[in-house]
Amino acid sequence: MEYVIKVEGLTKRFGEFVAVNDISFSIPKGSIFALLGPNGSGKTTTIKIICGVLRATKGYVEVLGKDVSKYPEQVKQNIGYVSQKFSLYEDLTIVENIEFYGAIYGLSKDEIEEKKAKLLKFFGFEGREKSLVGTLSGGMKQKLAFACATLHNPQILILDEPTAGVDPISRKEYWEMIRVFSQSGVTVLVTTHYMDEAERCDYVAFMFNGILKEVDTPANVKTKYSSHSIEDVFVKVFSQ
């Protein structure tokens, strides 16, 4: 099995506070891997280290065969990132945001035009190309963030609570798009507080107070904890 993300003995300290405490896991190519846990459990800190934004205090992180601590810029070029908080420009139109981020990623005008047409169709923006982003619903904004994160054809998508506060129909559509990218070979690392979303993933990892408590497939963790749902497993893991 080919692993595109490998985390070994990862620890991150902020002074005396241990945000991430000696965790290890690997993510296979093309899989959807969910990092689950309450706020403050260390999920976002872990993601920032994988992305090369933060440096680990201790341990080793490899992304696409490269040591993140040595090659952070090369790693970033192969990652598409979507945060919980919408981070694009609300005073620009949908098309203007796509064109702007295409330029940021270093795409040529022809490449941007080609990608733009495909993304507008795939994400359902046709007919709304000139809509100001500030007028869009939360679900549509997050779809646009997703679209812009894929402009440079990243091999890895990292989605940090991308559907928080999004309506159920938009969440369903969002996860259908995630599955399409996964099936095309893109590896997805996602954090979520929605346990029905975790059920859609190939692997789930439970994190609490910086410690990784379980890593396995949804089916296996449900069997281990004699549960019918990931939500039940979540409650049992974090009540121990």
**C-beta of residue 212 within 8 angstroms of C-beta of residue 36:** no
pLDDT in tens, 14-69: 999 999 999 999 999 999 999 999 988 999 999 999 999 999 999 999 999 999 99
Class of residue 179 by CB neighbours under 10 A (exposed 0-12, middle 13-18, buried 19+)? middle
pLDDT in tens, 181-236: 999 999 999 999 999 999 999 999 999 999 999 999 999 999 999 999 999 999 98
The answer for 59, left when phi > 0, alpha when psi is -120 to 50, beta otherwise, is left
Domain boundaries, the chain: 86-153
Provide the pLDDT confidence category of residue 86 given band limits of 50, 70 and 90: low
Question: Count of CB atoms within 10 A of residue 168's CB?
Answer: 11
Query: Rounded to an integer, what distance in angstroms lies between the CA atom of residue 124 and that of residue 119?
Result: 8
pTM: 0.93
Q: Which pLDDT value is given to residue 23?
A: 97
What are the strands of the beta sheet with 203-208, ordered from one edge?
79-82, 156-160, 187-191, 32-36, 203-208, 211-216
Paired strand residues for 11:
58
